[in-house]
């Protein structure tokens, strides 16, 4: 391997493989984000209906996200999940900002001041039922992707709505087989 390939593999390793994320070959697909994104309507509580595998969420069930608009225009992010292993809820508190006002549906989110922001792109939302979030990073000839479907109701959305969401993602070449459903059953989410 030449120096560049080694560097790429090491970087990919640091960012993904070694933390358990799946890599795909090729470039990040080109996607469209929600037009005329209204951040006010987007605030409030969402339940994670399904997600791509992400090591930082491994073993987490009953995941919810609460978004609160702050006075400075940034969004407070509170991701809460239940770990069956420890039988405890834990929260990750972060903040999200619109990085370019011309592209309001493209947010950058971080959970530590010392971390670079990760992309949080809203591909499509109707604000009242569902939102589709996506993130892709490319290194050389590899990419890694995360996708989430969050819903306002812990019961999710209707089958036709989910099938429309799948069609949207498949249309961009995103592999919907990588989704797994997040447990949101009240009986398995203590205290809910
Ligand atoms: C985050 O949300 C959880 C669950 O709703 C709540 O118990 C916790 O107090 C919140 N934390 C912050 C810092 O807002
Ligand atoms: C999706 O799954 C396929 C095979 O099941 C795998 O090759 C690919 O790397 C996965 N992609 C992501 C982004 O997880």
Which has more pLDDT, 5 or 30? 30
Q: Give CA angle at 139 (12, 55), nearest 5°.
A: 45
Which of 82-91, 97-106, 135-144, 146-155 has the least mean pLDDT?
135-144
Which has more pLDDT, 23 or 170? 170
The residue-averaged pLDDT of 55-78 equals 93
Distance from the CA of 179 to the center of ligand 2, in angstroms? 10
**What's domain 3-188's architecture?**
Beta Barrel (2.40)
Which has more pLDDT, 108 or 13? 108
* Ligand 1 pocket, CB under 6 A: 66, 78, 80, 91, 93
Check whether 190 has a pLDDT greater than 60.
Answer: yes
The residue-averaged pLDDT of 57-83 equals 94
Tens of pLDDT, residues 146-186: 899 999 999 999 999 999 999 999 999 999 998 999 999 99
Q: Is 178 in the pocket of ligand 2 (CB under 6 A)?
A: yes
**pLDDT class of 24 with cuts at 50, 70, 90:** confident
Q: Which tokens belong to 75?
A: 């969004």
Q: pTM of the prediction?
A: 0.87
* Distance (Å) of CA 137 to CA 4, 61, 105, 123: 18, 25, 17, 16
Tens of pLDDT, residues 114-130: 888 889 999 999 999 99
Q: Which 3-state string (H, E, C) describes the chain?
A: CCHHHHHHHHHHHHHCHHHCCCCEECCCCCCCCCCCCCHHHHCEEEEEEEEECCHHHCCEEEEEEEEEECCCCCEEEEEEEEECCCCEEEEEEEEEEECCCCCCCEEEEECCCCCCCEEEEEEEECCCCEEEEEEEEEECCEEEEEEEEEECCCCCCCHHHHHHHHHHHHHCCCCHHHEEECCCCHHHCCCC
Q: Is 145 in the pocket of ligand 2 (CB under 6 A)?
A: yes
Calpha distance 163→38 (Å, rounded): 24
Whose CA is closest to 98, among 140, 51, 161, 42? 42
**pLDDT class of 18 with cuts at 50, 70, 90:** very low
C-alpha torsion sign, points 93, 91, 148, 158: negative
- Report the residue among 17, 20, 21, 22 best suited for mutation to probe ligand 2: largest number of ligand atoms under 8 A from its CB: 22
Q: Which tokens belong to 181?
A: 């459903």
User: What was the pLDDT predicted at 79?
Assistant: 95
**pLDDT class of 22 with cuts at 50, 70, 90:** low
- Domain extents in the chain: 3-188
Give yes or no for a contact between 87 and 190, defined as CB atoms under 8 angstroms apart.
yes
Ligand 2 atom with the shortest distance to the CA of 53: 14
């Amino acid at each position: 391997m030449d120096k560049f390939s080694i560097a790429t593999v090491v970087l990919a390793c640091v960012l993904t493989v070694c933390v358990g994320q799946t890599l795909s070959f090729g470039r990040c697909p080109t996607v469209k984000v929600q037009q005329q994104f209204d951040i006010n309507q987007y605030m409030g509580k969402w339940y994670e209906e399904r997600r791509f595998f992400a090591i930082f969420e491994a073993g987490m069930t009953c995941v919810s996200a609460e978004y609160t608009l702050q006075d400075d225009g940034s969004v407070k992010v509170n991701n809460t999940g239940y770990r069956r292993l420890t039988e405890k809820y834990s929260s990750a508190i972060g903040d999200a900002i619109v990085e370019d006002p011309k592209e309001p549906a493209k947010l950058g989110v971080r959970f530590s001041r010392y971390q670079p922001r990760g992309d949080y792109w809203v591909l499509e939302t109707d604000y009242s039922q569902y939102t589709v979030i996506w993130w892709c990073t490319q290194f050389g000839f590899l990419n890694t992707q995360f996708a989430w479907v969050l819903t306002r109701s812990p019961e999710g959305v209707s089958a036709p709505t989910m099938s429309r969401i799948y069609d949207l993602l498949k249309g961009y070449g995103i592999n919907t087989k990588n989704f797994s459903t997040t447990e949101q059953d009240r009986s398995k989410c203590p205290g809910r």
